């Protein structure tokens, strides 16, 4: 698995063994960041990577210019790999934080403290296991605390199983859904 673009283009990332996580393919990550940069003209600066696994989406965001990323992951094997990827990329502690809390309902409170230090997020990436409703559950939990996201120009990306319905979030519109392989890539912005 490699970073597909930006500063670290071509750098190798480790992936957890087994089938507990499902790393986003290089092609899907490249398509995601092409859509963000060219289709939606969105620049991610302060990012959350939910269900991070190896951290490939968060690392891709950093490679494309994000200043900080907070990873949410609780699987032991994935955490080892995530930390090793941070080490291999030489990331400074101020640009990366790893949160191991497993309950999405607790994440907003943990992010609130981070926002006090670094400002609100502009991008949430959410790529959970498919078919369990986790994307909708996690994002709805975070949206209960509106100050964790910038009031303007914030974006939510949710990757779901291709057979899953596009989640609905009050005050947000799905501006694009791209189905590829077994996944649906959904892009949400605040309603005007």
Domains annotated on the chain, with CATH:
26-190 (3.40.50.150)
Query: What's the pLDDT score for residue 37?
Result: 84
Pairing of strands 46-50, 123-126: parallel
Kindly state the average pLDDT of the residues 39-62. 91
Kindly state the average pLDDT of the residues 49-59. 95
- Decide: 56 and 1 in contact? Cβ < 8 Å: yes
Angle at 190 between CA 65 and CA 47, to 5 degrees: 25
pLDDT at 123 over 80: yes
């Amino acid at each position: 698995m490699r970073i597909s673009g930006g500063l670290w283009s071509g750098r190798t990332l480790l992936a957890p063994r087994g089938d507990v996580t499902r790393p986003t393919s290089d092609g899907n990550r490249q398509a995601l960041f092409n859509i963000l940069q060219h289709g939606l003209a969105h620049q991610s600066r302060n990012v959350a990577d939910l269900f991070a696994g190896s951290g490939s989406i968060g690392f891709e965001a950093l490679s494309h210019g994000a200043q900080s990323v907070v990873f949410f992951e609780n699987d032991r094997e994935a955490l080892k790999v995530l930390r090793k990827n941070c080490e291999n990329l030489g990331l400074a502690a101020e640009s990366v934080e790893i949160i191991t809390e497993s309950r999405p309902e607790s994440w907003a409170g943990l992010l609130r403290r981070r926002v006090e230090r670094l400002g609100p997020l502009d991008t949430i990436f959410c790529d959970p296991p498919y078919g369990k409703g986790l994307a909708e559950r996690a994002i709805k939990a975070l949206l209960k605390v509106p100050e964790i996201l910038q009031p303007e120009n914030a974006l939510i990306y949710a990757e779901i199983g291709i057979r899953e319905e596009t989640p609905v979030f009050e005050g947000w519109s799905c501006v694009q859904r791209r189905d590829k392989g077994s996944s649906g890539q959904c892009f949400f912005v605040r309603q005007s």
